[in-house]
């Protein structure tokens, strides 16, 4: 079942840190058996560019795990260390760095405010974990969405920001890719605001170092969000997934990531004295192995940086033998240009509300929003599709319609033939609207309900 593909980052990392090694091995073997077809497919879709690494990753790192890394001086862009830094990788939750970059851009431009509330769509509420558990139809403060992303790496929060700023997930992904090109991230393509698996969503260690530098240098007023250790929302405590920040001296951010196709990823920023380094790593075998490897990379890079001459990004780049840049490779640090949200013309302008989020309609969703709900096809029962599911009962028919649209859009392969129904029922003077998907076969109905219930959603199977 393709919709079970992503492992929730928080679950994997907590298992990695809390289980005995023997039990963790068993868990990984079981998950590998379940998800290996998808991993194999994703692997086919990644094309690695030819690159001779400046440094080999050495012992302790699984060479078969699509590994790559880079460490740069954040002031000059000098590459201190890299391994396959231009090879394509899946960004996983590192994607949220760009979601936040555009959010910070909108905040600075006055198109958004930290105290503004954004609506949560059904599509956002149905995102896979990690998540805050945002409810469809609710409204969440922008600052809470930011905090949910930097600590819990919440996919529902990322989708809410993406839909709020772009109008839809697809439109926002196009904005993200355009912004990446403007920053010089030439090998990066974004397909969603969260980093949940998509074979066409790719980046490189080199490009992620550029994005890390842009967040630090372009938005110093917002960058401290990445150093927040924890966040409480709706009474639930969320600790930052970036556990290396707890134990590595000088580290103040920025983002972890994990999906099966990428391994455990990390972008780290560390400042010691006048030196700030940005490290990027893809392909860790576990959260602990990833953190330990990053610590090794940063230790070695600080030692090298200490003995190297300091060169500012503003220094000349001539061919003189006295120029220390001549024999070094550099990442071109991006200027703060090509803003997606241009600055306001005057301070008197009021913030412009972002467009309302829209669920990209599937064929089922298109029928759902028709003036009237059509009955199930007469031939459905003869094909064995006489089962259904009920995902809720609502006080407003439009909320039920939105919930059904979000579910069918999130599982188009499984639910494309379903028939959406919003049925009015009254009892005891109270009127409710039942949201149901009918014309399903028994196996599909039970599988979808099981999936939703496991994720804390309401669902009942409707038998013939």
- When pLDDT is cut at 50, 70 and 90, the band that residue 339 belongs to is low
Q: Please, which residues have CB within 8 angstroms of residue 51's CB and are 6 or more apart in sequence?
A: 84, 85, 86, 87
Boundaries of CATH 3.40.710.10 in the chain?
2-307
CATH 3.30.70 maps onto the chain at: 363-462
Give the C-alpha separation, 195 to 218, whole Å.
23
| Catalytic residue check, 153 | yes
Ramachandran angles phi, psi of 360, nearest 5° = -65, 115
Q: Is residue 343's pLDDT more than 90?
A: no
Average pLDDT over residues 250-275: 93
Whole-number pLDDT of residue 229: 86
363-462 under CATH 3.30.70, yes or no: yes
| Whether this model's pTM surpasses 0.85 | no
Give every CB contact of residue 202 below 8 A, 6+ residues apart in sequence.
46, 88, 89, 90, 91, 187, 188, 189
Q: Are 250 and 166 in contact (CB under 8 A)?
A: no
Q: Collapse the DSSP code of 275 into the 3-class scheme (helix H, G, I; strand E, B; otherwise coil) and give the result.
A: strand
The question of whether 320 is a catalytic residue gets the answer no
Over residues 73-126, the pLDDT tens digits come to 999 999 999 999 999 999 999 999 999 999 999 999 888 999 999 999 999 999
Q: Which of 33-37, 47-51, 212-216, 290-294 has the lowest mean pLDDT?
A: 47-51
Confidence of residue 401 (pLDDT cuts 50, 70, 90): confident
Residue 312 has pLDDT above 60, yes or no: no
Integer angstrom CA distances of residue 340 from 33, 149, 181, 276, 337: 43, 21, 12, 28, 9
Q: Is the pLDDT of residue 70 over 60?
A: yes
Task: Identify the active-site residue in 96, 131, 255, 421.
Answer: 96
Q: Name the β-bridge partners of 81.
A: 71
Of 133-147, 157-171, 205-219, 233-247, which range is least confident?
Answer: 233-247
> Is the peptide bond preceding residue 99 cis, with omega within 30 degrees of 0?
no
pLDDT for 153 equals 94
Provide the CA 411 distance to its chain's centre, in angstroms. 19
96 in catalytic set:
yes
Model confidence at 271, pLDDT cuts 50, 70, 90, reads very high
> What does the alpha-carbon distance between residue 216 and residue 220 come to, in Å, rounded to a whole number?
6
- For residue 347, pLDDT over 90 is answered with no
State the pLDDT at residue 21.
Answer: 44
| 419 DSSP β-pair partners | 438
In this prediction, residues 267-280 reach a mean pLDDT of 95
- The percent of residues above 90 in pLDDT, for the chain, comes to 49
Q: Which of 68, 76, 93, 130 is catalytic?
A: 93
Q: What distance in Å separates the CA atoms of residue 434 and residue 419, rounded to the nearest whole number?
A: 14
Beta carbons within 8 Å of 424's beta carbon, 6+ residues apart = 397, 431, 432, 433
Fold category of 2-307 in CATH: Beta-lactamase (3.40.710)
Of the residues 68, 76, 128, 153, only one is catalytic, namely 153
Query: What's the average model confidence in pLDDT over 411-422?
Result: 84
């Amino acid at each position: 079942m393709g919709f079970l593909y992503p492992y929730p980052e928080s679950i994997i990392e907590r298992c990695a840190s809390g289980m005995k090694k023997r039990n963790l091995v068993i868990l990984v073997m079981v998950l590998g058996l379940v998800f290996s077809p998808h991993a194999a497919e994703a692997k086919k879709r990644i094309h690695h560019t030819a690159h001779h690494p400046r440094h080999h990753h050495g012992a302790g790192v699984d060479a078969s795990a699509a590994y790559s890394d880079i460490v740069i001086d954040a002031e000059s862009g000098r590459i201190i260390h890299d391994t396959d830094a231009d090879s394509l990788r899946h960004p996983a939750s590192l994607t949220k760095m760009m979601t936040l970059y555009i959010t910070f851009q909108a905040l600075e431009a006055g198109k958004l405010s930290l105290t503004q509330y954004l609506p949560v769509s059904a599509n956002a509420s149905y995102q896979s974990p990690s998540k805050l558990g945002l409810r469809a139809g609710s409204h969440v403060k922008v600052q809470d969405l930011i905090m949910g992303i930097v600590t819990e790496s919440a996919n529902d929060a990322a989708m809410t920001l993406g839909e709020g700023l772009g109008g839809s997930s697809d439109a926002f992904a196009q904005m993200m890719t355009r912004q990446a090109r403007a920053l010089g991230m030439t090998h990066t393509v974004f397909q969603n605001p969260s980093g949940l698996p998509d074979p066409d969503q790719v980046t490189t260690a080199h490009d992620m170092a550029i994005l890390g530098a842009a967040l630090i240098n372009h938005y110093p007023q917002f960058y401290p969000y990445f150093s927040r250790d924890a966040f409480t929302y709706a009474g639930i405590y969320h600790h930052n997934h970036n556990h290396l920040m707890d134990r590595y001296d000088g580290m103040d951010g920025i983002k972890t990531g994990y999906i099966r196709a990428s391994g455990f990823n990390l972008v780290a920023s560390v400042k010691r004295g006048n030196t700030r380094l940005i490290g990027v790593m893809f392909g860790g075998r576990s959260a602990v192995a990833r953190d330990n490897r990053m610590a090794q990379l940063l230790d070695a890079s600080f030692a090298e940086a200490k003995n190297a001459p300091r060169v500012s990004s503003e220094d000349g780049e001539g061919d003189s033998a006295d120029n220390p840049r001549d024999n070094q490779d550099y990442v071109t640090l991006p200027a703060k240009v090509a803003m997606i949200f241009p600055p306001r013309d005057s301070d008197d302008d009021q913030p412009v509300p972002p467009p309302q989020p829209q669920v990209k309609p599937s064929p089922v969703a298109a029928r759902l929003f028709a003036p009237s709900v059509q009955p199930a096809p007469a031939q459905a029962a003869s094909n064995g599709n006489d089962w259904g599911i009920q995902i809720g009962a609502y006080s407003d028919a439009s909320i039920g319609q939105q919930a059904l649209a979000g579910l069918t859009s999130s599982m188009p392969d499984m639910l494309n033939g379903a028939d959406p129904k919003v049925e009015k029922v009254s009892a005891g003077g109270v009127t409710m609207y039942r949201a149901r998907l009918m014309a399903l076969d028994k196996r599909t109905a039970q599988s979808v309900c099981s999936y939703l219930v496991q994720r804390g959603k309401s669902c009942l199977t409707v038998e013939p």
